[in-house]
Amino acid sequence: MASLYTHQSQNIRKSWLLMTVFFMVVFIIGWILVAYTGNGAILWIAVAFSLLMNATSFWFSDTLAIKASRAQPADGTIYKDLHNMVENLAITAGLPKPRVYIIDDPAPNAFATGRNPKNAAIAVTTGLLATLEKVELEGVLAHELAHIGNRDILVMSIAVVLVGFVAIITDLLWRISLFGGDRDRNVHPALLITGIALIILGPVIARLMQFAVSRKREFTADATGALLTRYPEGLASALEKISSYGKPMKHASGATAHLFIGNPFGGSGGKMMRKLFSTHPPMEERVAKLRGV
Pairwise CA distance, residues 261 & 215, whole Å: 12
187 DSSP assignment: -
**3-state SS assignment for residue 80:** helix
CB proximity list for 124: less than 8 A, separation 6 or greater: 82, 100, 101, 102, 103, 109, 110, 137, 140, 141
Helix axes 134-149, 80-93, angle to 10 degrees: 50
Q: Is 133 a catalytic residue?
A: no
- Distance, in Å, from the CA atom of 225 to the CA atom of 4, rounded to the nearest integer, reads 9
Q: One of 144, 218, 284, 285 is an active-site residue; which one?
A: 144
* Buried/exposed 44-78: b ≥16 CB within 10 Å, e otherwise: ebbeebbeebbebbbeebbebbbebbebeebeeee
Active site residues: 144
